[in-house]
């Protein structure tokens, strides 16, 4: 029977991937293995969430302010007001979260490109698009709308055992993120709610399970 070791998976999505693989006949070993423990573990597949470090050497050489990527303002302008930075390398102020972040996703790169194009065409506005992500893992369609920073309450809607469910994350009682597995409808609904004046409380998401 195939064996898979999953490290670095901590969210509902990570658990869903593990459950899905387990249901398909994989043996799932969750947790972090340190090479120092001396144990050799063979695996057919290893899924590791390690993150990335922004490559900002060119920007630094140009004298642009860098801190975990290229620092930009809400209009995606660097410390040189004739240069914009977008995508994976841009460390931008996220209005809804009230902090700076870098996002590594196709949505972020495309929407930030659109924002800079609009500014160059005389229609500047602060970048404030909803972050969303997706990934296909075997027959599991993982989709995320919003960001989980500072989420203080999670509500699971649906049954993870059925391989179709969502986890709703609330920050200060307001819907902040929805992580979905094979639930494209929940993802689409989340994109219509998060960051708008529409509301969904934890109680409502519980009552409609």
Residues 126-155 that bind ligand FAD (CB under 6 A): 133-135
Where do the DSSP E strands lie in the chain? 3-7, 27-30, 45-48, 70-71, 90-94, 99-101, 132-137, 140-146, 153-159, 164-171, 174-181
How many angstroms separate the Cα of 144 from the Cα of each of 8, 23, 99, 177, 191? 17, 22, 20, 7, 9
27 near ligand FAD (CB under 6 A): no
The residue within the footprint of ligand FAD, chosen from 80, 104, 159, 203 (CB under 6 A), is: 104
Number of residues lying near ligand FAD (CB under 6 A) = 11
Looking at beta carbons only, is 67 or 104 nearer to ligand FAD? Answer: 104
Find the shortest distance in angstroms from Cβ 23 to ligand FAD. 22
45 near ligand FAD (CB under 6 A): no
With a CB cutoff of 8 Å and minimum separation 6, the contacts of 142 are 13, 16, 17, 134, 135, 136, 179, 180, 181
Residues in the chain: 209
The residue within the footprint of ligand FAD, chosen from 22, 45, 46, 58 (CB under 6 A), is: 58
46 near ligand FAD (CB under 6 A): no
Find the shortest distance in angstroms from Cβ 202 to ligand FAD. 27
The residue within the footprint of ligand FAD, chosen from 65, 73, 88, 129 (CB under 6 A), is: 88
DSSP 75: T
The residue range among 37-45, 105-113, 154-162, 169-177 that interacts with ligand FAD, by the rule CB under 6 A, is 105-113
DSSP string, 102-152: ---SHHHHHHHHHHHHHHHTT------PPPEEEEEETTEEEEEEE--TT--
68 near ligand FAD (CB under 6 A): no
Question: What does the block give as tokens for 78?
Answer: 């660097």
Query: Helix, strand, or coil here: 24?
Result: coil
67 near ligand FAD (CB under 6 A): no
44 near ligand FAD (CB under 6 A): no
Closest chain position to ligand FAD (CB): 87
Residues found near ligand FAD in the complex (CB under 6 A): 58, 87-88, 104-107, 109, 133-135
């Amino acid at each position: 029977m195939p064996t898979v070791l999953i490290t670095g998976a901590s969210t509902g999505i990570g658990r869903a991937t593990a459950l899905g693989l387990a249901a398909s006949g994989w043996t799932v070993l969750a947790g972090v293995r340190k090479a120092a423990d001396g144990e050799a573990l063979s695996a057919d597949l290893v899924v590791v969430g390690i993150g990335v470090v922004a490559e900002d050497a060119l920007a630094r050489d140009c004298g642009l302010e860098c801190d975990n990527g290229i620092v930009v303002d809400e209009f995606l302008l660097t410390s040189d007001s004739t240069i914009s930075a977008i995508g994976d390398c841009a460390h931008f102020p996220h209005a809804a979260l009230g902090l700076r972040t870098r996002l590594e996703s196709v949505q972020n790169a495309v929407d930030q490109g659109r924002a800079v194009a609009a500014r160059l065409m005389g229609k500047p506005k602060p970048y404030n698009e909803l972050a969303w992500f997706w990934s296909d893992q075997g027959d599991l369609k993982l989709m995320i709308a919003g960001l989980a920073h500072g989420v203080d309450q999670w509500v699971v809607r649906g049954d993870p055992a059925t391989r179709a469910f969502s986890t709703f994350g609330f920050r200060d009682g307001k819907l902040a993120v929805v992580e979905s597995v094979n639930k494209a409808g929940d993802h689409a609904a989340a994109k219509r709610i998060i960051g708008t004046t529409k509301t969904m409380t934890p109680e409502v998401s519980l009552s409609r399970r």
